Structure 1
């Protein structure tokens, strides 16, 4: 093998030498025949691709005009879909201001820009977000997405199905059948909530994105992965009186049966009816426990279904020492579901002790800023220590 390798090496070297000699001979001949000075060819520069910002601004103006006049462009492009969505939902007061390119223009001439957009859904304040808008080489809109930390509005996120009644508005990124299902859940939820609390002019808005809640709510990925639904202000603020919407996680609620899905929507409707997200006076266990009390009030489900997680914990470790606090309701908590069940059973204890109206009075009094201890004494004749003791006993008895 070594011998063969040496021969191959010599042949390569010899071949290389011959090529070199031939090149030198050619060069000398070129010089002798009067060739001019050798000049290396100038490299050809790649053409510069620029964003057609004027065409992009014209496309945004066409979008705004289309929403204002209810005239959608032809086709299934992003702008046409957005205009149809806006008309179905009733979106108004749309503006779109081109800010600047976001990143480089692609070789095919497409690019993404930051665009400040504002709009208003009937019953809501005007919302303003800086969104990412895609454009093709001709400046036509190719898509909308949220910037980091901003919310992606459903009407700009692809085709939606819209259902409305006098008290509900349901916007769903899914099939017509799925939209019908959520519309029925919303209507039933309004009826169930009004049996317990005063909701004179009900308005329940459900937004159901196709892929989870994180993008729709401008949250870090995974924040709401295990959450079936969230009630929040439309603008992300905590200002009292700000309109509330319910965002539904299809990835979670889609796996529930009809009674389970109804409990979720009625729970969130209770939050919406009582402005729970913007009221910081009530303890968290009362906020969540009361919402579950309303949602489970007319169900005949056994405790193994409605409180299975907390009862399993009680069997293993005994009852908790105190009512669940804010930290226990963290969406990433290991025992997230059990805390809701524990809070609901605390409200059940109160309703058994003083009746449903006493529980409603407690909820309303604490919402007005009356301290829990004082409100408990006024409605039930005992304080938080006695409530905790009764609740722990109820948990222990139920876990047997």
Structure 2
């Protein structure tokens, strides 16, 4: 900035005018590029909504080297054939978003970070968004066409990027997947059972709709999450979405992990589906300061509710750990599980034990104070942190919420949890 200022002072008035004219011309060129790209993205959006593969392919550069890219436009429309789209729009987030590889020949190019927004009919009041990196090239007639979708790593993978999407539409749910239709139908039946079960605990003040994604392979599961699937070994499903009430109109996605899911019996799948549906129902009351033991504990509590399973049957790994600890059992339960315990990086059965300890904490609330107190505690944690305590520690927020709903602080509640757990699990 200082170097520019010094240079302008030397140039004097005429030089300043010339520099401004150059800058204005540059701004005009940028605006023209942006307008051209926006027009093409609008054409692409309309083509997808109309399921017009030829129109979508016509937004790709006519170069022979782009034949594969054009074929992918036809495949995209085919993959979306059964998906009930209420909205599909692209918007430009930024231009010159990444360095472009060298190219021989061709016209002027621009690197675009774009945001895809889409909604499923009957399930999304607000669009779900996905980031894409797209390169556009200016043609001789001034039109900007898509030249590449692979010049920059990253971006969000969607189910239809992986193959033709099957759809099962239920009373409360929609299942989209790459698996056999019978598998999708079974997932949908369990999802339709989960929604009223969750509403019986958490009320009807949520969308009472679920969207489930069923990839065919573990690799596809990881691609949809944008993460290494090895970090989710043993988890049969994951719910993704934004925390808090800002995205109230968006239905979060439950993504099935096929390897873990297929190893469950019917009861296990129903528990998992109800667990994940609880995350959807409580998402607007789940904040970054909500302890993981509370968010996962209420999901497991709701998931196992009404199954008739005993505490030992629900918490086998924890029961075995308590038995091994013997008289040192209280030392094993010195504190409620920390957030890090749910990261899946611990050894042995530590992840299962963290979930099971969380279930026991919620069981203590319900057995001693009633189920409505558990619901009230969850809301109190979200409300406290969202107000004047937003910058305060998670521990302080939890302690105030416990005192406000149950009449005792974290230390006293931890002692009750420990006593209830040992009483239920000790031989």
Using structure 1 for the length normalisation, give the TM-score.
0.71
CA RMSD in angstroms, aligned pairs only: 3.6
1:192 to 197, 201, 215: 197
Aligned match of 2:399: 373
How far apart, CA to CA, are the structure 1 residues paired with 2:129 and 2:338?
33
Contact 2:119 2:127 in 1 (8 A): yes
Contact 1:146 1:152 in 2 (8 A): no
User: CA offsets, 1:52-102, max 9 Å, x none?
Assistant: xxxxxxx999965542213456xxx64444224434223332449999998
Contact 1:120 1:126 in 2 (8 A): yes
How far apart, CA to CA, are the structure 2 residues paired with 1:312 and 1:183?
34
Contact 1:89 1:121 in 2 (8 A): no
- For residue 223 of structure 1, give the secondary structure of its aligned residue in structure 2: helix
Task: Name the CA shift for 1:72/1:150 in 2 (closer, same or farther; >3 Å).
Answer: closer
Q: Does 1:86 align with 2:94?
A: no
Contact 2:297 2:358 in 1 (8 A): yes
CA drift at 1:296: 0.7
User: CA offsets, 1:205-246, max 9 Å, x none?
Assistant: 11122223321111245232332211111xxx5564323211
How far apart, CA to CA, are the structure 1 residues paired with 2:203 and 2:319?
32
CA drift at 1:363: 1.4
How far apart, CA to CA, are the structure 2 residues paired with 1:215 and 1:62?
28
**Comparing 286-295 and 363-372, the one that deviates more:** 363-372
Aligned residues: 328
How far apart, CA to CA, are the structure 2 residues paired with 1:132 and 1:252?
35
Bigger CA radius of gyration = 1
2:413 to 382, 387, 390: 387
Task: Name the CA shift for 1:146/1:154 in 2 (closer, same or farther; >3 Å).
Answer: farther
CA drift at 1:293: 0.8
Aligned match of 2:9: none
Whichever structure has more helix as a proportion of its residues is 2
Aligned match of 2:119: 121
Aligned match of 2:16: none
**Comparing 254-263 and 275-284, the one that deviates more:** 275-284
Task: Name the CA shift for 1:320/1:227 in 2 (closer, same or farther; >3 Å).
Answer: same
Task: Name the CA shift for 1:78/1:180 in 2 (closer, same or farther; >3 Å).
Answer: farther
How far apart, CA to CA, are the structure 2 residues paired with 1:158 and 1:144?
17
Aligned match of 2:19: none
Aligned match of 2:17: none
- For residue 188 of structure 1, give the secondary structure of its aligned residue in structure 2: helix
Task: Name the CA shift for 1:338/1:102 in 2 (closer, same or farther; >3 Å).
Answer: farther
**Comparing 170-179 and 303-312, the one that deviates more:** 303-312
Gap regions ≥5 residues in structure 1: 1-58, 106-112, 134-140
1:330 to 336, 343, 363: 343
User: CA offsets, 1:178-206, max 9 Å, x none?
Assistant: 11011112111111100101233312111
Aligned match of 1:305: 313
User: CA offsets, 1:316-373, max 9 Å, x none?
Assistant: 2224111001111112222111100110011101111011111111111112126323
- For residue 167 of structure 2, give the secondary structure of its aligned residue in structure 1: strand
Q: Does 1:363 align with 2:378?
A: yes
1:13-32 correspondence runs (5 A): none
Q: Does 1:264 align with 2:272?
A: yes
Task: Name the CA shift for 1:145/1:156 in 2 (closer, same or farther; >3 Å).
Answer: farther
CA drift at 1:381: 3.0
CA drift at 1:154: 0.5
